Amino acid sequence: MEEEDEGYKRNERIALVTILVMASVAVASLFVTFIYYCYITNKVSRRLNNRKKGSEHEEKSSSSCNIQVAAENGLQEFTFKQLHSATGGFGKSNVIGHGGFGSVYRGVLQDGRKVAVKLMDQAGKQGEEEFQVEVELLSRLHSPYLLALIGYCSDSNHKLLVYEFMANGGLQEHLYPISGSNSGCLKLDWETRLGIALEAAKGLEYLHEHVTPPVIHRDFKSSNILLDKSFHAKVSDFGLAKLGSDKAGGHVSTRVLGTQGYVAPEYALTGHLTTKSDVYSYGVVLLELLTGRVPVDMKRGPAESVLVSWALPRLTDRDKVVEIMDPALEGQYSIKEVIQVAAIAAMCVQSEADYRPLMADVVQSLVPLVKHHRPTSRGGSSSSFHPNSSPKA
Ligand SMILES: Nc1ncnc2c1ncn2[C@@H]1O[C@H](COP(=O)(O)OP(=O)(O)OP(=O)(O)O)[C@@H](O)[C@H]1O
Ligand SMILES: [Mg+2]
C-alpha cells in the first residue's frame, strides 16, 4: 500500500515537473516570438525609413542635377515664389520699365545680389518664343559688353528672366529724359558718350564677329544699351536676335521686326537680315549720342521728324555738323572728335548695306578717341567664349 502511495507521489512529481518544463518552454517560446516580432518590425520600419530617405536623396540629387545642368550654362533656375519675394511681390514701386516683353522689376536675391526681373506678359505666343531664344542665346554668349542673364523662371503660368541690375538704366533715359520722372537727370558729357559708343560697338562686334554663326541683334537701340553705376555700357535684349547664316554673304529671311527709326531700309523693305542691319541701327544710336534726339518724332515737323534724313546731309559738312549737336552738351566737346564720330555715323546709316563698315572697323575707329579721354576699365575687346560658341580664328 505504501509502495502504491510512493509510486503515485512519484508520478505526481513527474507530472508537475513536466507541466513546469512545458510551461517554461511555452513562456520561453512566447518570449522568443515577441523578440522576433520586435526585430522584424524594427527591421521593416528601418527599411521603410531608408527607402524614404533614399527617395528624398534622389529628389535632392535630381534637383541638384537640374541646378547643375543650368549651372553648366551659367544660369540659375528660380521658382516663381523666389522671384515674387525678390521683387516685393512685383510691387508697383519696384517697376523700373516696360517693354515689348512685359514689365521690368527691381529685385534683390536671397544672397543680396541686385537684379532686374522681366515678367513676360501672358498674351501672345511670340513672346514665349522670344523667351526661349533669349534664354538659349544668352546662356551661350558671354562678354563684358553684353548684359548678363543670371537666370530664369519657366513654369506653365510664368516666364521670367533675371538679369544683372544696371544702376543707371537705359541710355535713352539720359539722352532725352521723359518729363517728370527723370527731370533731375544730368545729361551725359561728351567723354561718357564716347565711352558708351565704344562699349556698345564692342558688344555688337562680339555678336557679329566672335561667335559662329554670327548673332544678329535685330533690335539694337538706345533702350537696349544699359548703363551701370559708372556709366559703362552693356548691350541687352536678344529676344529678337536670330542666328545669322553661316555662309559668307548669306542672310536670314524673316518677318520684319525691330523698332521704328532704327530699322535698316533693306530690312524694312525685303525682310532680308544681315549683320549690316545692326550696323545701321548702331549708326542711329550714334546720331542719338551726337544730337540727343529721338530717332522719329513727328512733333519736330516734316523736315526734322526722321533723325537720319535730317542729320545725314549735315554729318559730312564740317560747318553744319555743329548745328546738329545736342544743346545739352553746351559746346563741351572737341570738334575734331565730333567730325570723326559723325563720319562713322554717316557710314553706318548709308542706304547701301554693303558699304556700311563692320563693327570691328567701328571699334578700331573709336578706340583712339576713347583712349584719349579715359582708359576703359574693361580693357580691350576681349570676350570670354562659351565652348558651345566656336570663336572665329
Ligand atoms: N538689367 C536692367 N537693369 C536696370 N534697368 C533695366 C534693366 N533691364 C531693363 N531695364 C529698364 O527697363 C526698361 C524697359 O526695358 P525693356 O527691355 O523691357 O524694354 P525696351 O528696351 O524699352 O524695349 P524692348 O522690349 O524692345 O527691348 C529699360 O529702358 C530700362 O530702363
Ligand atoms: Mg530692352
Mutate to test the pocket of ligand 1, among 94, 98, 101, 104 (most ligand atoms within 8 A of CB): 104
State phi, psi for 198 to the nearest 5 degrees: -70, -45
CB-based contacts of 157: which residues, under 8 Å, 6+ apart?
80, 122
CATH 1.10.510.10 describes domain 171-369: yes
For residue 45, how far is its CA from the centre of ligand 1 (angstroms)?
56
For residue 224, how far is its CA from the centre of ligand 2 (angstroms)?
4
Block means of pLDDT (10 residues each) for the chain, 393 residues, are 68 77 70 56 47 38 37 78 96 92 93 94 58 72 92 84 95 80 70 98 96 90 96 85 44 59 90 92 98 94 94 94 96 96 98 97 97 54 34 30
State phi, psi for 252 to the nearest 5 degrees: -105, 120
Residue 130, ligand 1, Cβ within 6 A: no
Residue 82: predicted pLDDT: 97
Residue 116, ligand 1, Cβ within 6 A: yes
The amino acid sitting at 174 is H
Mutate to test the pocket of ligand 1, among 226, 229, 231, 259 (most ligand atoms within 8 A of CB): 226
How many CA atoms does the CB half-sphere of 63 hold within 13 Å? Answer: 8
For residue 96, how far is its CA from the centre of ligand 1 (angstroms)?
8
Residue 233, ligand 1, Cβ within 6 A: no
Active site residue 219: yes
CATH 3.40.50.620 describes domain 76-164: no
Residue 19: predicted pLDDT: 75
CA 263 to chain centroid = 24
Topology alike, domains 76-164 and 171-369 = no
DSSP code string of 56-69: HHHHHHHHHHHHHH
For residue 167, how far is its CA from the centre of ligand 1 (angstroms)?
12
Residue 134: predicted pLDDT: 65
Residue 246: predicted pLDDT: 37
Nearest atom of ligand 1 to the alpha carbon of 168 = 4
Residue 154: predicted pLDDT: 82
Residue 269: predicted pLDDT: 87
Residue 175, ligand 1, Cβ within 6 A: no
For residue 148, how far is its CA from the centre of ligand 1 (angstroms)?
13
Residue 374: predicted pLDDT: 60
* Cα separation of the two ends of the chain: 125
Residue 262, ligand 1, Cβ within 6 A: no
Residue 165, ligand 1, Cβ within 6 A: yes
Q: Is the peptide bond before 213 cis (omega within 30 degrees of 0)?
A: yes
Residue 12: predicted pLDDT: 81
The three three-digit cell numbers of residue 216, written as one number: 544678329
Quote the CA–CA distance of 235 and 386 in Å, as a whole number: 18
Residue 101, ligand 1, Cβ within 6 A: yes
User: Is the distance from CB of 127 to CB of 121 less than 8 angstroms?
Assistant: yes
Residue 202: predicted pLDDT: 98
The residues spanned by each domain of the chain are 76-164, 171-369
Q: Which of 219, 237, 278, 326 is catalytic?
A: 219
Residue 120, ligand 1, Cβ within 6 A: no
Q: Nearest residue CA, atom 20 of ligand 1?
A: 99
